[in-house]
Structure 1
Amino acid sequence: MHTKDLVVVITGASSGIGRATALEFARHGAALVLAARGTEALEAVARECRAHRGARAVVQPVDVADEAAVAELARRAVREYGRVDVWVNAAAVAVFGAVEDVPADEVRRVLDVNVLGCVNGARAVLPVMRRRGAGVLVDVASVLGLVSSPYNGAYTMSKHALLAFDATLRQELRLAGERGVHVCTVLPATVDTPFFQHLANRTGRRVRAMPPIYTPRRVARAIVGAVRRPRREVFVGVSTRSLRLLAAAAPGALEGVLAVKVDRTHFVRGESAPHDDGTLFAPPPGPGTVGGGWHGTVRTAGRRAGAAAAVAVTAAGVVRRARH
């Protein structure tokens, strides 16, 4: 599918991967419908998008957990542009904390946004795409859809569920003979976004992004690439592909090694943090940003070297544990 003149709907467009994706499609001349909870941030990213080759962009404040609001988002796109070529589900929230420390309503909220938000998006847009016999639905999952992480149970569950949901969608479209409608799952590793500043925290420890860290634009380019050449899954980053292989080869050993790695590197040593709801129930104030200040703009070669080193260490630990 050519990216010029596409009609693209993006949820979670106010910051991070969603915002980077909006800007990347704008560079290709797409017409955009941008959705998120924060109106000020949406207006800011829409202005940035319009500065690229005269790209068109409209905004729609939406909580993706609200099925009726997501259905109206799809109708708005059709009213504005007559069709929807691409729908990107990039909205996500998280809460860090041990299973017994995270309140049930916060777990439920993560699943409502990260899973039901994508379900709502699919239910709203697939009928539009099927009527035309063409379209690409992109769900932004995570490497945590392949492996698990301590203190991040709700988010990890949500991304595992999203992979299963997308597989089901692909099967149903195939059985219905819908060869022109595609569902693609994008799996990035850690990305330099405000996600870690925005998450809810019940650990009492200050959370930081765990290296290796990739740029949001790298993920955005992967999403655009998936639209150009639709495929089942797209793995962003060396570490994601490597963890996929390790998870298949020695899942139990990898589970143990990752538990230690997360505990040691996902928190700032010696720094405490108050319990905080983050952006679970309300959007962050202000115009929003793409990056989170986690040094994801380091040169690609440096990132790859760091990823290779991290994966080598993890693999060595997995091999040692598997032998025992």
Structure 2
Amino acid sequence: MSSRVVVLTGASSGIGRAAALAFAARGDRLVLAARGADDLTKVAAACGNDPLVVPTDITRRGDLDALLNRAVERYGHVDVWVDSAAVMAYGTFEDVPPEVFDHMIATDLLGSANVARTALRQFRAQGHGTLIGVSSLLSHVTVPYISAYVTAKWGQRGLFRSLQQETRDAPGIHVCLVAPGSVDTPIYTSAANYAGFVGRPPPPVDSAERIAARVVRLAGKPRPSVSVGATNRLIELGFTLLPPVYDVLVTPLMRRGGLSRQAIDGTDGNVFGPRPRVEGGPGRWSRAQVGAVVAGAALVAGASVRRLLPRN
């Protein structure tokens, strides 16, 4: 098992943190980057083996240049770059302040482009490398109340698909995209919120560790895209083949499954700067809660189908 040099942007929490721990367990040499220095230091301590810690804001291209320079100065090259940095905002499009919407796009889409540009420049220079972007099921379907996140993830998927085409001339360079479904991470509780209730991942919910394991596997055996989630394909199928039913279901399901009953005042969360995060949150579902959401969805779906059926 060969040791690799792995750069992780968004390494301070959630999937990025879990991936850092998984790569460290494998014996890889790590470069950890995110906006929050304190959280990065904690992750580095948990990883062991003296990772390089470089506080970085991916919306700033100069920060990414400095990150790459530090990585190459220490290790000489970069084998894998994993980007999971993202922020989120809850609320209808009209309720989310324009500056919050714009900065989310700057982070989740333009930031991803900044990372890709920096990584590919290094990969071209050395002749090899694997770029892994952490996307979302929401790069394939739409849901209400998180329009900025959906917009960014659809754009990111288009970008990475283009990059896969543009790097066909370099067999040693791989561009991959992982699309998880719901994952229990702090992004929901640290998000900007103008919906009145704290967000949560709708069921079924995967652990960050499961997604991280797939990321590590992808680094060893690159593939253009991987979907991780028990119901991802079913949701995509409904979105594509039954849009009228999907559109009727998605709003009540988002209200019941994607928003907790924990009230919250309007806040810009961690969109403009790092804030302390707590792993987990109101994302852990009991079997009774999951059953209630599924039963409610079935009732709404049945009523919707009946309305769509032709009447004599």
TM-score (norm 1): 0.87
Kindly indicate whether residue 202 of structure 2 is the aligned counterpart of residue 213 of structure 1: no
Q: CA, structure 1 residues 292+267, in 2 after alignment: closer, same or farther (shift >3 Å)?
A: closer
Q: CA, structure 1 residues 275+130, in 2 after alignment: closer, same or farther (shift >3 Å)?
A: same
Inter-partner Cα distance in structure 1 for 2:63 and 2:119 = 13
How far residue 232 of structure 1 moved from its aligned partner, in angstroms, is 1.2
Task: Quote the residue 1:294 is aligned against.
Answer: 283
Q: In the alignment, is the contact (CA less than 8 A) between 1:254 and 1:314 conserved in 2?
A: no
Alignment of 1:278-317 (within 5 A): 278-285=269-276, 288-292=277-281, 294-295=283-284, 310=294, 317=301
Question: What secondary structure sits across from 2:188 in the alignment?
Answer: helix
How far residue 316 of structure 1 moved from its aligned partner, in angstroms, is 9.0
Q: In the alignment, is the contact (CA less than 8 A) between 2:249 and 2:297 conserved in 1?
A: no
Inter-partner Cα distance in structure 2 for 1:221 and 1:170 = 22
Kindly indicate whether residue 135 of structure 2 is the aligned counterpart of residue 151 of structure 1: no
Number of equivalenced pairs: 305
Inter-partner Cα distance in structure 2 for 1:312 and 1:240 = 19
How far residue 208 of structure 1 moved from its aligned partner, in angstroms, is 2.6
What are the superposed Cα offsets for residues 113-147 of structure 1, whole Å, 9 maximum, x if unpaired?
A: 10111111111110211222221101111111111
Unaligned runs of 5+ in 1: none
Which of 260, 264, 268 aligns to 1:277? It is: 268
Inter-partner Cα distance in structure 2 for 1:323 and 1:38 = 50
Question: What secondary structure sits across from 2:148 in the alignment?
Answer: helix
Supply the AA of the counterpart residue of 2:284. Answer: H
Q: CA, structure 1 residues 210+200, in 2 after alignment: closer, same or farther (shift >3 Å)?
A: same
Q: CA, structure 1 residues 292+88, in 2 after alignment: closer, same or farther (shift >3 Å)?
A: farther
Q: In the alignment, is the contact (CA less than 8 A) between 1:212 and 1:310 conserved in 2?
A: no
Q: CA, structure 1 residues 112+250, in 2 after alignment: closer, same or farther (shift >3 Å)?
A: same
Question: What secondary structure sits across from 2:52 in the alignment?
Answer: strand
Which of 31, 36, 47 aligns to 2:45? It is: 47
Unaligned runs of 5+ in 2: none
Inter-partner Cα distance in structure 1 for 2:271 and 2:306 = 37
Q: CA, structure 1 residues 182+255, in 2 after alignment: closer, same or farther (shift >3 Å)?
A: farther
Q: In the alignment, is the contact (CA less than 8 A) between 1:216 and 1:290 conserved in 2?
A: no
Question: What secondary structure sits across from 1:42 in the alignment?
Answer: helix
RMSD: 2.5
Inter-partner Cα distance in structure 2 for 1:209 and 1:311 = 18
Identity %: 36
Q: In the alignment, is the contact (CA less than 8 A) between 2:83 and 2:134 conserved in 1?
A: yes
Kindly indicate whether residue 245 of structure 2 is the aligned counterpart of residue 253 of structure 1: yes
Inter-partner Cα distance in structure 2 for 1:322 and 1:81 = 63
Alignment of 1:224-235 (within 5 A): 224-235=216-227
Question: What secondary structure sits across from 2:254 in the alignment?
Answer: helix
Inter-partner Cα distance in structure 2 for 1:293 and 1:226 = 30
* Between 238-247 and 55-64, the greater mean CA deviation after superposition: 238-247
Question: What secondary structure sits across from 2:189 in the alignment?
Answer: helix
Kindly indicate whether residue 52 of structure 2 is the aligned counterpart of residue 58 of structure 1: yes
Q: In the alignment, is the contact (CA less than 8 A) between 2:163 and 2:175 conserved in 1?
A: yes
Kindly indicate whether residue 147 of structure 2 is the aligned counterpart of residue 163 of structure 1: no
Q: CA, structure 1 residues 315+111, in 2 after alignment: closer, same or farther (shift >3 Å)?
A: farther
What are the superposed Cα offsets for residues 141-200 of structure 1, whole Å, 9 maximum, x if unpaired?
A: 1111111111100001011111000001011112xx111211111111111111111000
How far residue 260 of structure 1 moved from its aligned partner, in angstroms, is 2.0
How far residue 83 of structure 1 moved from its aligned partner, in angstroms, is 0.6
Question: What secondary structure sits across from 1:163 in the alignment?
Answer: helix
Kindly indicate whether residue 9 of structure 2 is the aligned counterpart of residue 15 of structure 1: no
How far residue 252 of structure 1 moved from its aligned partner, in angstroms, is 3.9
Q: CA, structure 1 residues 23+105, in 2 after alignment: closer, same or farther (shift >3 Å)?
A: same
